[in-house]
Structure 1
Amino acid sequence: MLDEFSPKVFIEKESSASFGECAIDERLKFALSNRGISRLYAHQCEAIGKIGEGKNIVIVAPTASGKTESYMLPAVLAALRGENVLVVYPTKALSRDQLARWREFSLLGVRAEIFDGDTSDYWREKIKGSPPQVLITNFDMLHFLLMQSRNLSPFWKNLRMVVVDELHTYSGVLGAHVSNIVWRLKRVCEKHQNAKKLQFVCCSATIANAQEFANAIFEEEFEGVQASGAPKPYVEHYVVNPGDESYTTTALKVVKELGKKTLLFGNSHAVVERLGVMAGDMGLSLAVYRAGLEMRERKEIEEEFRSGKVKILATTSALELGIDIGSVDAVVLAGFPGTITRFRQRVGRAGRKGQKAYAVYIARDNPLDQYFAESPERYLEGEPERCFVNPYNEAVSQAHVICASRDFPLADSELSGKRRERASELLQKGMLKRWGSRLIPSKDALRFVKESGIRSEAEPVEIVDANTGRKMGEREEHMAIRELHPGAIYLHGGVHYRGVEFDAKGKIAKIARDASAKGYYTSALHQKEYEALETIKEREVFGRTLYFGRMHIRDTVEGYALKDVYTQETVAKHPLAQELVHEFDTLGIWLDFEGEAHIGNFADGLHALEHVSISMMPAICGSDPAEIGGISYPSGAMAVYEGVAFGNGATAQIFEKYEKVMEMSADRLEKCACEKGCPKCIFSPMCGNNNRYLDKEAGLKIAKEVLKN
């Protein structure tokens, strides 16, 4: 199969189930029997036992391992005892998918309801008037529910168990929000005279530090449960390097040849939309499924795929999670998703009914994709990445201290450490004010609270149709200046738009339809500078000092390159009439390579080494590649920074494993077959210089000399 693509082929053998011994409450057996379940896996029994002992647990489970029963059965028993359960899923789609499972227990008198952004006003009032035993939501909505907690006072007063599914999705800055929301949740329950100690039950994909990550997010002690008892299907793995054509073109050709019910994963909205347009040009029937679709449209696509009316879905991480879309025979990955964890989650969607499964990995021309394509055992058998969080991110922590004062007035005794510092700063800024012995939000703070969300650390840029004035969406500022500047090509709903105006002060980007943009895309040309502000810790690596701390970043977009969508070749370059600048403080690491300055063409070599090392870092820290940036100077200074204001904790992981980054970088430079550099080793789509001033040979010499130390 797929012979024309000259793939590498690997077989993952099937494995049988390992069952445990644990009693199932007679009242629950009927629901399990309806699903054909008569026995529980060993890890399900272990999880149920620990939950019964009142422990906080994190269940580390691959896709289709039966994790839902591990927490659902104890949660239903808690509801039958008269206790309330809060269930938090990462997406609205997953909440609605799982609601049917919860409602299988309605005959026992257990009522489950969803309260999220898609819940109608009618149902919101019904829930407030009579709260269910099981309330399903997401952290975005929980953030606002806590500020209006009196509407659900009986629920908070009787809350005992909190279930958080897909914990690994909260790595990074979103995890900082989640950690602060959990702090507020505990406080709100206390204010509603809840004498129970909340019990937390989490599920995560397979990551290297699930227990440590849960401890950090919830500020509680957790025990881990490894889900290894579920059966696994027989999987044929194919690794394809596209050659001269684009990886998206190859991915669509592979899907067509497979001729099976397939999920085609892309790594961004833009890529998935592009796949949809290209599939139409190739006469391939394909539906696009991604976040941001209306619930009705989302449900229609899910049902059409489930029924077989649609056999190919191009999707983002929206279907990486456990939404039931029926049988899937094949998974095609258009590019490595950044981490081993996400790779395994996506591949795990195929063969869930026990049938033979196919997994095809289309490697892009970038260093990380090629690193794993060369040795697939690295993702098939290698150690998964670590999740990370910085709960005290300054901007995030300040926002939630304000929100906590809106939940209930804050007493000084309720604040400690960094949160006490944030409250003091907010008092000085006039965002908090004294009300007797307590702190309450000012009018400006109340306006901030009303508009605040947890998906962005700063006010986003609005995307507006220049011809109609209609708001079309939002984008974080650091991405907006690169994607929505005048002249930028922007895909929305499969339609090509051009940036026509960017109001940096008003945070509005205007775009207009442009049919002539079809077949092209743009890449921003920008310059970056950094300044180290504070060293938090340091250590010796390779005979030099590696620093981790606070830094200031200035990113200036000066122009853009117009590129062919099929070949990625640069067609033209255009300067901007007015530069766009984004500045922020963040966390990062920095070190000096001046000891290698004697190597010929040193500056270009260091630039090349910076590119390849940045590309490797997601495999170490588990971050999205877009969350990490790099800067190198001809003097020998190099810095790696976190792309969000005040940092998300990613570079703290890199700081601890920098030696591995250098080893991986040298390996990629040495094994790449090109002579002077290519996208598979040192070219980066994020390069502000459009991949000029690079020297592969000099970069390899620097890496080898460093490793000798």
Structure 2
Amino acid sequence: MIFRCSKCDICSIIPASDSIDEAYLEFLDRIESGGGVKAKDLRWLMEQEKIIRSKKDIDRILSDNKVSDPLIDQVLRSDQDYIVDFRILQEPQPDYGDPVGRLPVDEAIVSVIASKGIDRLYKFQQEAVKAVLKGADLVITAPTASGKTEAFCIPVIQKIKERSENGVRAIFVYPTKSLSRDQAPKIKEFADPLGIKVAIVDGDIDEEERKRILDFPPEIIVTNFDVIHYHMLHRTRFAGLLRTARFLVVDEAHVYTGVFGANVFHIISRLERLAGKLQIIAASATLPNAAEFCERLFGRKMQLLAGRGRRGDLNLSIIFPSLRSSRSLAIDLVKKSTKNEHRTLAFSNSHLGSELLAFYAARQGVSIKVHRAGLTAASRNEVEQLFKSGKLAAISSTPTLELGVDIGDVDTVVSDIVPINRLVQRIGRAARRGQQGYAFLVLGNDPISQYYKAHPDDYLSDHEFVYTDPDNPIVKEYQVLAMACDRPIAMAESKDIWQAVQSLVARGLLILSGSRFIPDFKKAGQVLNNYSIRGIGSNVHIKLGNRLVGERSVPQAIEELHKDAIYFLSGKRYRVKELFFDQKSGRQAYANLEQIPSDYPYYTKALTDEWPSVTEIHERKKVLGIETAYCSLRILKRVLGYSNMEIGHDITQGKKTMFDSTIEYEFDTKGFVFRAPQPSDAVASADDGDYVATSGFHASEHVIIEGSAMITGGASHDVGGISLGSSGLIFVYDSSAGGNGASRILYDRLEKVFGRALSILSECPCSSESGCPRCTYSYRCGNNNEYLHRISAIEVMKRVAAGQDCQIGDMHGDRAIV
């Protein structure tokens, strides 16, 4: 905050505070003690405090990079933001292979390649062709639009041609229907000249096309895992076609993380039970643990092949919004970009973020629409087509558009903060056709951004690790039941799934008949018909009047769709008139929406608490001096009320409304627990030592989870955290029922996470006792960012770093703070 005295013309910069009165009092103290500068020297002070860059710095950056671009010049000369870094990303020229005529493939395939003006494949494409032809199970990693499709398509089609067998030979799997339909024509380009038929199978094909596929099976099916799961489960004619498959191609493999990935692991096992062993070829974005992840996902050893493609130069700017919110900066970047006639794609990391950005950008005259999960497929397709045709200037998207759907040329990408490899995936959208591209990474008012502002080089080396947990016991039970519906389970094949089989027998879902386990089809159908392989548990149906307008998965739904919650949908705001949710009833949960005035000034944030109980300890280890245990947990989550948050104000605390009765949800998951050292010095000097200790542990829990995102990638967004009062016990758990693998990523890297947490706390310039959004506050805090104490948390983390010995001991606390 900048304060200026109108009488004496003295200015001072005060760290942001939720209390304007506290900030003003600090300003007065500075004035009385001789601090502050004359208004004419304010820019100099802002430069010294790293609130903005000096004009000299900006001139040097532009000169060093030989930039004379009007958009870059406007953005870098901002007097509200600090330019953390600017560089031109010049993709190294890819290595090329031999002339295409030397490829060991049919002449018709060579002709297709040549017709595209290509006389040599990239070297990674050539190596992929040879590896697949030799029968390797392969993972291909490369950036967006670098030629991965050709790398797996050419050799699979060649092997189908060589064998000349009837029936379905290859299954090409994509994570979304829109991506399947986008990629199928590219596959057909290579297949058609060889007389190899390609067909899309999803829920949108008509009856005539379905009958044609069943009567005259194509050699290549393009589909998704939802369709495969459904047809095997219901033993349809289409499932019978899959028996002849020999190749499974999985594009965008990095999408299959967490619970979705656990389901995919079992679906592939069921598919191989039907068809026999498949040769698996996977394609993925560039990842640091691609081989390890794919080996876990597919349950076998995978050969890794990394490649790169061509694109135009990208102007990358990393920007910290010093005197405005990150959303205001992102909207301004979208506005400036579209005014310069640049086709713009803005990525937000959350559903609400994408809706708010579009809501405010549209108010400022930007032609923009939202593209996110939870909207109907027709709505998303309409947005894609409008943008591709040039009728829409910008899209505000969640990660849905990180995938390779062709939406036409993109000049500019504006992105919330994500790990560098996710950013590369996003900005791969820009300059895909060789034109000059622009990428703006918008830092925020949060611990991670504060750290990267001070350590920008660390941003470029911190990579995302993807994860899944095929051993999720809840997923395994559902999938073993589905497996029995596919075909009864012989006693001889039940060894690795025995625990799940026994549980299903006890529930009356499986019956031992001779030496086989067969399902009770009526009961199994009731359990499996509403099961989603993309998550666990129920969804809440969202209704407007009598019309179903969307759905939201639990537990997120009970936080976003409680009574009187303000819910964003397609750029408009609604109030939740009613929520029906009863976990024990088995009835479909739903939320009814009602419209609100366009000028309604608030949105809402749920107030929650959570109670953990350890059901089993799997592993213990020492991290520095801290005993840590990886375990199975049961979490009771309750929504207690909500805070009204004023739109347009980047505050993290709001007026609270408490419910008469809570909304409750209980689930089993995995996570880890440790006991942090007591902040003895801070406690000894405090009037209320219990409050200081409790608040220090809560702040430590926040910064450990928020800061870990830098080291683990997005894993922190799939975990929750609980600190138990003044006990020092801190729990970190997978937010998905049964577990998703995210907490394990943190557990394995905990020493580095502890170190980063201490840096965030120590380096923050704020002077508030509780800290601020750049160190201790969390936008996900269920306690309205109360019970936080920065000095106490610094002492806790310093004691951890010094190796103070701490045993977990008795796992009880007097209160749970999330």
**TM over 0.5, shorter chain:** yes
Per-residue deviation, 1:577? 2.3
The one-letter amino acid paired with 1:698 is S
Per-residue deviation, 1:294? 4.5
Per-residue deviation, 1:85? 0.8
Q: Are positions 1:288 and 2:288 aligned together?
A: no
Select 2:358's aligned residue among 276, 279, 293.
276
Change (3 A) 1:185 1:223: same
Select 1:590's aligned residue among 665, 668, 673.
673
Pairwise CA RMSD? 1.9
Secondary structure of the 1:573 match is strand
Change (3 A) 1:383 1:276: closer
Per-residue deviation, 1:517? 7.0
Partner of 1:193: none
Q: Distance in 2 between matches of 1:451 and 1:32?
A: 45
The one-letter amino acid paired with 2:293 is F
Secondary structure of the 2:237 match is helix
Partner of 2:3: none
Partner of 2:254: 168
Q: Are positions 1:496 and 2:577 aligned together?
A: no
Q: Are positions 1:16 and 2:93 aligned together?
A: yes
Change (3 A) 1:325 1:477: closer
Select 2:336's aligned residue among 252, 257, 264.
257
Q: Are positions 1:521 and 2:603 aligned together?
A: yes
Partner of 1:27: 108
Q: Distance in 2 between matches of 1:464 and 1:552?
A: 31
Partner of 1:234: 313
Q: Distance in 2 between matches of 1:119 and 1:415?
A: 37
Partner of 1:445: 524
Q: Distance in 1 between matches of 2:206 and 2:758?
A: 55
Partner of 1:124: 210
Secondary structure of the 1:583 match is strand
Q: Distance in 2 between matches of 1:277 and 1:431?
A: 48
Select 2:767's aligned residue among 671, 675, 678.
675
Secondary structure of the 1:364 match is coil
Q: Distance in 1 between matches of 2:382 and 2:552?
A: 27
Q: Distance in 2 between matches of 1:153 and 1:509?
A: 36
Contact kept in structure 1, 2:249 and 2:281, CA below 8 Å? yes
Partner of 2:553: 476
Which structure is richer in relative contact order (CA contacts within 8 A, separation 6 or more)? 1
Encode CA deviations 1:373-429: one digit per residue, 9 max, x unaligned. 44333333x152222221121111100111111111111112222x11101110011
Range with greater deviation from structure 2 (371-380 or 165-174): 371-380
Q: Any stretches of 5+ residues in structure 2 without a counterpart? A: 1-72, 684-691, 804-818
Change (3 A) 1:256 1:231: same
Q: Distance in 2 between matches of 1:71 and 1:597?
A: 60
Change (3 A) 1:571 1:663: closer
Per-residue deviation, 1:209? 1.5
Partner of 2:429: 349
Per-residue deviation, 1:627? 1.6
Partner of 2:407: 325
Q: Any stretches of 5+ residues in structure 1 without a counterpart? A: 191-196
Q: Distance in 1 between matches of 2:255 and 2:452?
A: 22
Q: Are positions 1:391 and 2:470 aligned together?
A: yes
The one-letter amino acid paired with 1:307 is S
Partner of 2:709: 618
Range with greater deviation from structure 2 (524-533 or 14-23): 14-23
Q: Distance in 1 between matches of 2:110 and 2:558?
A: 56
Contact kept in structure 1, 2:125 and 2:151, CA below 8 Å? yes
Secondary structure of the 1:95 match is helix
Whichever of the two has the greater Rg, that structure is 2
Secondary structure of the 2:128 match is helix
Partner of 2:18: none
The one-letter amino acid paired with 2:172 is V
Partner of 2:326: 247
Contact kept in structure 2, 1:163 and 1:202, CA below 8 Å? yes
Q: Distance in 2 between matches of 1:411 and 1:240?
A: 60
Q: Are positions 1:47 and 2:131 aligned together?
A: no
Q: Distance in 1 between matches of 2:529 and 2:209?
A: 22
Contact kept in structure 1, 2:375 and 2:549, CA below 8 Å? no
Encode CA deviations 1:208-241: one digit per residue, 9 max, x unaligned. 211111111111111111114x235322111222
Change (3 A) 1:34 1:625: farther
Q: Distance in 1 between matches of 2:233 and 2:264?
A: 15
Partner of 1:194: none
Encode CA deviations 1:12-36: one digit per residue, 9 max, x unaligned. 2342121123733321123223333
Q: Are positions 1:543 and 2:625 aligned together?
A: yes
The one-letter amino acid paired with 1:94 is L
Per-residue deviation, 1:76? 1.4
Q: Distance in 2 between matches of 1:246 and 1:460?
A: 33
Encode CA deviations 1:169-221: one digit per residue, 9 max, x unaligned. 1111111000010110001114xxxxxx3100001111121111111111111
The one-letter amino acid paired with 2:140 is I
Q: Distance in 1 between matches of 2:609 and 2:654?
A: 21
Change (3 A) 1:550 1:299: closer
Q: How does 1:28-427 map to 2 (within 5 A)?
A: 28-81=109-162, 82=164, 84-105=169-190, 106-152=192-238, 155-190=241-276, 197-228=277-308, 230-258=309-337, 259=340, 260-333=342-415, 335-337=416-418, 339-380=419-460, 382-417=461-496, 419-427=497-505
Q: Distance in 2 between matches of 1:469 and 1:353?
A: 45
Secondary structure of the 1:536 match is strand
Encode CA deviations 1:28-65: one digit per residue, 9 max, x unaligned. 12322333322111111111111111010111212222
Q: Distance in 1 between matches of 2:405 and 2:453?
A: 28
Q: Distance in 1 between matches of 2:732 and 2:720?
A: 6
Encode CA deviations 1:547-593: one digit per residue, 9 max, x unaligned. 10111111111110000121133452111121111111110011012
Secondary structure of the 1:274 match is helix
Per-residue deviation, 1:302? 2.6
Per-residue deviation, 1:625? 4.0
Q: Distance in 2 between matches of 1:521 and 1:351?
A: 37
Range with greater deviation from structure 2 (157-166 or 439-448): 439-448
Secondary structure of the 1:97 match is helix
Partner of 1:632: 723
Identity of aligned residues (%): 34
Range with greater deviation from structure 2 (599-608 or 549-558): 599-608
Contact kept in structure 1, 2:698 and 2:788, CA below 8 Å? yes
The one-letter amino acid paired with 2:143 is P
The one-letter amino acid paired with 1:79 is I
Partner of 2:656: 573
Q: Distance in 1 between matches of 2:380 and 2:736?
A: 30
The one-letter amino acid paired with 1:56 is D
Q: Distance in 2 between matches of 1:344 and 1:519?
A: 36
Q: Distance in 2 between matches of 1:625 and 1:222?
A: 27
Per-residue deviation, 1:617? 2.5
Contact kept in structure 2, 1:409 and 1:439, CA below 8 Å? yes
Per-residue deviation, 1:652? 1.5
- TM-score, normalised on structure 2? 0.82
Change (3 A) 1:371 1:390: same
Contact kept in structure 1, 2:702 and 2:776, CA below 8 Å? yes
Secondary structure of the 2:643 match is strand
Contact kept in structure 2, 1:367 and 1:612, CA below 8 Å? yes
Contact kept in structure 2, 1:496 and 1:517, CA below 8 Å? no
Secondary structure of the 2:433 match is coil
Encode CA deviations 1:260-310: one digit per residue, 9 max, x unaligned. 111111112222222222122111111222234455544443333233332
Select 2:778's aligned residue among 684, 698, 703.
684
